[in-house]
Structure 1
Amino acid sequence: MEIGIIGSGNIGSTLAGYLTKLGHEVLIANSRGPETLTEIVATTGAKAATAEQAASAKDLVILAIPQKAMVNLPIDILAASKAIVIDAGNYYPSRDGQIAEIANGATDSEWVAKVIGHPIIKAFNNIVAPSLASKGTSVGNANRIALSVAGDDTEQKQLVMKLIDEVGFDAIDGGLLSESWRQQPGEPAYCQDLDKEKLKSALQQADISKRAENLAAADEAARPYL
């Protein structure tokens, strides 16, 4: 596939390396320009690109950037895209600012979908970067970590789940995009390196009445690192 990744931080660069090794053509971009991606290109094999070029990838576009940066994306290109678009980010109010629609109950990816005018699949957000980089393993390994995938298009979710399996992790269906809060900061499924059955259980344990409270606690704990 032709895959664009916007965001060259730990998650974006790690995914670039995995996907290039799988034989995909990967275009990676950041907000600072292609000339700042020399080291990542050398270590991952991906091609440095502008955000516009990465957003134009024909098969898959991965957004691995803070929520506050979504409004700066090449929205016209993404809105017209036929590609699957994955949101791999998480909303932290102390970093991203207060977003009223999320505060009023929308998931962050529902908000992203509205901002860019394109459906979203939520994936790669419920794992810490070091685990993503080092804990991928073969199918059937007893210690294989699972990732959850949320979205409204079943076919797109299945493709993303297959890709996750190829990268080295199990994948489970996390439900509709409106349910993606279950795999976000402060919830039992967030960044716990769980296997499939434990991840399924953690997703179900999430209590929507505690959603705002849990996010606030996670935001406060993460504040020094954001």
Structure 2
Amino acid sequence: MKIGILGSGLMGGKLGVLFAQAGHEVIFSYSRRQSKLDDLARRAGQTAASGTPAEAARADVILLAVHWSRLDDVLSQAGSLVGKTVVTCCVPLDETDSKLVVGHTDSGAEQIARKLPGAKVAAAFQSTPSEVFAEVFDARQHPGKASCVYCSDDADAGRAAAELLTTIGFSPVNAGPLAIARYIEPFALLTAQLAYGTEDGPDWAYRFGKFNTL
């Protein structure tokens, strides 16, 4: 699979490197410094490269991983995404990264889908701190995988999200339609509080499972 990264910060950079290490082709784009994109491509290996948002948008699947305040800018640089599969890990946070600016009756993922008519949109990854991705990836062959929820209104986008989650080493949990992002995005703030607001460190993950006493 060829994966275009729109936003190569903590989330996009780490996920892109791991996608490439798993054998996918990756194009890193959208950073303040070209040198950072080039460095990510070098770290990721021979299947990775750096490019512009428009070049990344030509990939089979696009990972949208920018701060909410940069969303319109990166989408304008990417160009038309009609017919494309877009997996967003964006959380609609304010400039202080402490409060949601969208919630209750709407979600960031739903707003992104409305900004991208004709694209296939899923939401994934945003409920887990980026610091634990490498550990999850290293343990991907072990039982007892960490969970990660995703949601989508489109079956193809949902399958793409599940495949990317599996590539990293998560056990994907299909939470349903894209409107469920209204609950996943606040949950992301809970995991962020555990990661950055306690003394226990950022390497938090979670596991969902059916409880059976029989």
Global fold match (TM > 0.5):
yes
Letter in 2 for 1:86: V
Is 1:194 the counterpart of 2:195? The answer is no
Rounded Cα–Cα distance in structure 2 between residues aligned with 1:104 and 1:194: 23
Matches within 5 A, 1:206-217: none
Instruction: State which drifts further: 10-19 or 88-97.
Output: 88-97
TM-superposed CA distance for 1:184, in Å, is 1.7
Tell me the distance in 2 between the aligned counterparts of 1:197 and 1:55.
Answer: 35
Larger relative contact order, structure 1 or 2 (CA cutoff 8 Å, min sep 6): 2
Asked if structure 2 preserves the Cα contact closer than 8 Å seen for 1:68 and 1:97, the reply is no
The answer to whether the Cα contact below 8 Å between 1:3 and 1:25 also exists between their aligned partners in 2 is yes
Secondary structure of the corresponding residue to residue 183 of structure 2: helix
Confirm or deny that 1:159 pairs with 2:145.
Answer: no
SS of match in other structure, 2:115: helix
Q: Any conservation in 2 of the 1:11–1:129 contact (CA below 8 Å)?
A: yes
TM-score normalised to structure 2 length: 0.79
Task: Report the CA distance between 1:159 and its aligned residue.
Answer: 2.9
Q: How many residues end up aligned between the 2 structures?
A: 196
Quick check: 1:131 aligned with 2:143? no
Query: For residues 97-125 of structure 1, what are the alpha-carbon distances to aligned partners after superposition, in whole Å with 9 as ceiling and x for unaligned?
Result: 9998x357211111112223334200011
Distance in structure 1 (CA, Å) of the matches to 2:71 and 2:64: 8
Taking the TM superposition and a 5 Å limit, the aligned residue runs for 1:161-180 are 161-180=162-181
Contact 1:75 1:116 in 2 (8 A): no
User: In the alignment, is the contact (CA less than 8 A) between 1:29 and 1:54 conserved in 2?
Assistant: yes
Q: Report the alpha carbon displacement of residue 172 of structure 1 after superposing the two structures with TM.
A: 0.7
Change (3 A) 1:130 1:31: closer
Q: Which runs of 5+ in 1 are unaligned?
A: 201-226
Unmatched segments (≥5 aa) in structure 2: 193-203
CA RMSD of aligned residues (A): 2.8
TM-score, normalised to structure 1, is: 0.75
Change in CA separation of 1:140 and 1:14 when aligned onto 2, cut-off 3 Å: same
Deviation of 1:165 after TM superposition, in Å, equals 1.4
Q: Distance in 2 between matches of 1:112 and 1:96?
A: 18
Which structure shows the bigger proportion of residues in helix conformation? 1
CA–CA separation in structure 1 for the residues paired with 2:22 and 2:154: 24
Query: Residues 14 and 122 (structure 1 numbering): CA distance in 2 closer, same or farther, change over 3 Å?
Result: same
Report the 3-state secondary structure (helix = DSSP H, G, I; strand = E; otherwise coil) of the residue aligned with 1:14.
Answer: helix
- Residues 105 and 182, structure 2, Cα contact 8 Å, conserved in 1: no
Describe the shift of the 1:188–1:141 C-alpha distance in structure 2 as closer, same or farther (beyond 3 A).
farther
Q: How does 1:1-20 map to 2 (within 5 A)?
A: 1-20=1-20
In 1, Cα distance between the equivalents of 2:20 and 2:12? Answer: 12
Counterpart check, 1:40 vs 2:40 = yes
Match of 1:116 in 2: 116
* Aligned pairs for 1:92-111 within 5 A: 92-95=93-96, 102-103=102-103, 105-111=105-111
Residue identity matched to 1:122? A
Deviations 1:72-130 (A, max 9, x none): 12448554443210111111124489998x35721111111222333420001110011
Percent identity among equivalent residues? 21
